[in-house]
Amino acid sequence: MHELSIALSILDLAEEEGQNRGGRVTAIHVKLGRLSGVVREALESAFEMAREGTALAQAELVVDEVPLVIHCSACAADGTPDSAYELRCPTCGALTNEIVRGRELEVHALEIES
């Protein structure tokens, strides 16, 4: 359950950014990659616990899931593998280690009310 550490980091980051931009943060948009190692449901419930008693107690967490995208050098194309457990090109079936997207764990945007 490292999602609580992650939720606390998200709150710290949002609070800092909110203060810098002067306003009340009403929502935090987070990009969560398929291979980020973070479970969406666990993060959402950890966030609800973590925000209590903070300046962001009313802020919503909006999770934007990012699918896994790999690059296949044989096809010279990007694609989403059929299974996240096999980094296999959906077109030709070759294995590849080039991950284009899917590791994201970032605070993408904030909704700020002034």
Partner 1 sequence: MSTDPRLVQVRQNVLKRNDEVARALRLRFHEAGVYVVSLVSSPGAGKTAFLERVLKSLRECYRVAALVGDLATDNDARRLCRAEVPVKQITTGTVCHLEAEMIASALEGWRLDELDFLFLENVGNLVCPSTFDLGEDLRLVLFSVTEGEDKPLKYPTIFNTADVTIITKMDLAAAVEFDAVSAHRSIQAVRPGMETFEVSAKTGQGMKEWLNFLQCRSTKQSVAR
Sites of contact with partner 1 (CB under 8 A)? 1-2, 5-6, 9-10, 12-14, 17, 21, 23, 26-27, 29-30, 35-38, 84-88, 95-97, 99, 105-114
The sign of the CA dihedral 38, 39, 42, 45 is positive
Instruction: For the CB of residue 56, give the shortest distance to partner 1 in the complex, in Å.
Output: 13
Instruction: For the CB of residue 97, give the shortest distance to partner 1 in the complex, in Å.
Output: 5
Instruction: State the Cα–Cα distance between residues 47 and 24, nearest whole angstrom.
Output: 18
Pick between residue 29 and residue 101 the one whose CB is nearest to partner 1. Answer: 29
Instruction: For the CB of residue 106, give the shortest distance to partner 1 in the complex, in Å.
Output: 5
Residue 112 tokens read as 């700020």
Instruction: State the Cα–Cα distance between residues 64 and 77, nearest whole angstrom.
Output: 24
Instruction: State the Cα–Cα distance between residues 51 and 26, nearest whole angstrom.
Output: 12
Instruction: For the CB of residue 7, give the shortest distance to partner 1 in the complex, in Å.
Output: 9
Contact indicator for 98, 81 with CB cutoff of 8 Å: no
Residue 83 tokens read as 């299974």
